[in-house]
Structure 1
Amino acid sequence: MLRAYRVAAGVALGAAAFLSLPLPALAAPPVAPGGPAPGAADPGATRSWSAWRSDGTAWLAADPADSPPDGSVIGWRFSVSPEGAAGDSPGGELPSFASVCGRDTAASGHKRVAVTVDFGDGDADAYPGDQPPAQGVLRCVAGAEDATTARLLASAAQVRVNDRGDVVSVSGYPMRERGGTELTAAAPAAPDGPSALLIAGGAGALALLTAGAVVATRRRTRAPAEARR
């Protein structure tokens, strides 16, 4: 009887001690020595820039080497990307082409594309100690019909790529990616109508013709006058 009483008292004391613990201590997972704190960015996680294309209702993973058609909306996002995964899609409201580029059509042989850039979450995606730009990018860019998703991005921001052609830095972010080469932007659309060189050449030819007509008129006027002398 005494032994049973002692066991019951021990169980009661243990339950009381457990219930007296603060809730955060009960909910917090164990932290491995040297590992990141809960909610902090994992310094060893793989991070990368990923390309996306809107279908009007959601983001779909895209290939940087793809050539989106005129009127497309493309997005880029920097985030933690597990092996074999594309990472997170751009956050915020899905932009529409009309709201970014308006309703004007592209010049012949060219296309216009809306480009948005999301630098990721400063806590979950950024490298430890790094801070993403406070504001993303949202621009309407123009380029040749075969311009790729990566080159259209380079028309909206400064882009660096590694030797495999992967985008490693956009507008200098992340700061630790200082290598690679700068990617050339997509060729801008040429204005409709005759080129400036043709216009200048036509104006020059017209001036020569006008000058020639004036000289010929003066000669015809001078000839009868001299004949009457």
Structure 2
Amino acid sequence: MRRSRWAGALALAGAVTALGAGPAQAQGYRYWSFWDGAGGTWAYATQGPATLRPADGAVAGFRFTVSAESSAVDRPRAAADFGKLCSGTPQKSGTKRVGVVVDFGSAADAPDGERPPRERTACARVPEDASAGEALAAVAKPLRYDAQGLLCGVAGYPETGCAEQVSGSGTSEPKASGKPSAGADGDGGPSAGLLGGGAAVVVLGAAAVWQARRHRG
């Protein structure tokens, strides 16, 4: 009897885990991803642009994209080459230079009725304590953020919207309840896969409680 109750609990947990994983595979989010170009190689940033404070010689990349997992996000297409980006910007006391790459993404990732601008690269000269977001603002205004500090628009693109959920067909849908997880401080970019995983963990816990109560009964 005990074995059958355990089997029932595990079957329920497995079914819900599969349900939770489904949306992560079929749906993504349209958003601005943030990249750290340290060492000349793009890596998905572990902090958001509002808190990351790059040193002189750093490169910050921003790519508009549609993705369900941070591990599968398209990188900026321009190289993270500080020497090329800032070759004409000499050092100056009290400031730092940050190479900035803004990749507006592909037409396939653009919201309905909008067309991505051409890629933009620049060298931002900013105060020594400036964040990556401030470096971006120095070369790609206007920026648009939502109430939670999530980067929604760069240089006016896109005109509206912020981290909309996108179905497999590429059409926008209303956001799921709550904001998708976005990294350390909430403005690095959503990770839709965490939504399904979180739901599965909650139901796994519920299945365990159900089994324990049946056992006591």
Q: State the TM-score, normalizing by the size of structure 2.
A: 0.55
In the alignment, residue 136 of structure 2 is paired with which amino acid? L
The answer on 1:74 being equivalent to 2:56 is no
**Where do 1:148-159 residues align within 5 Å?**
148-158=131-141, 159=143
Could you tell me which amino acid in structure 1 is paired with residue 35 of structure 2?
W
Secondary structure of 1:67's aligned partner = coil
User: Who is 2:182 aligned against?
Assistant: none
Q: Does 1:161 align with 2:134?
A: no
1:119 aligns with 2:107: no
* Structure 1 unaligned spans of 5+: 1-41, 179-229
SS of 1:150's partner is helix
Classify the secondary structure of the residue corresponding to 1:102: coil
Provide the residue aligned with 1:130 in structure 2.
114
Residue pairs, 1:24-39, within 5 angstroms: none
Distance 1:143 1:86, change over 3 A: farther
In structure 2, C-alpha distance between the alignment counterparts of 1:100 and 1:57, rounded to whole Å: 11
1:48 pairs, out of 19, 28, 31, with 31
Instruction: Say yes or no: does 1:175 pair with 2:159.
Output: yes
One of 8, 21, 43 as aligned partner of 1:60: 43
Change beyond 3 A, Cα 1:104–1:137:
closer
Q: Distance in 2 between matches of 1:68 and 1:146?
A: 8
Structure 2: any 5+ residue segments left out of the alignment?
1-25, 163-217
Say which SS state the counterpart of residue 56 (structure 1) adopts: helix
Bigger Rg, which one: 1
Asked if structure 2 preserves the Cα contact closer than 8 Å seen for 1:117 and 1:138, the reply is yes
Question: Which aligned pairs between 1:63-102 and structure 2 lie closer than 5 A?
Answer: 63=47, 64=49, 65-82=51-68, 87-92=73-78, 94-102=79-87
Percent identity reads 38
Q: What's the Cα RMSD here?
A: 2.3
Q: 1:106 aligns with which of 91, 96, 120?
A: 91
Distance in 2, matches of 1:83 and 1:58, equals 19
Q: Which has the higher contact order (CA 8 A, sep 6+)?
A: 2
Amino acid in the other structure paired with 2:124: V
Contact 1:46 1:83 in 2 (8 A): no
Q: Which one-letter code corresponds to 2:66 in the other structure?
A: V
Matched, 1:139 2:139: no
1:68, CA displacement in angstroms?
Answer: 0.6
- Paired with 2:159 and 2:146, the residues of 1 have a C-alpha distance of 15
1:158-214 deviations in whole A, cap 9, x for unaligned? 111111111100111112239xxxxxxxxxxxxxxxxxxxxxxxxxxxxxxxxxxxx
C-alpha change, 1:99 and 1:153, in structure 2 (3 Å) is same
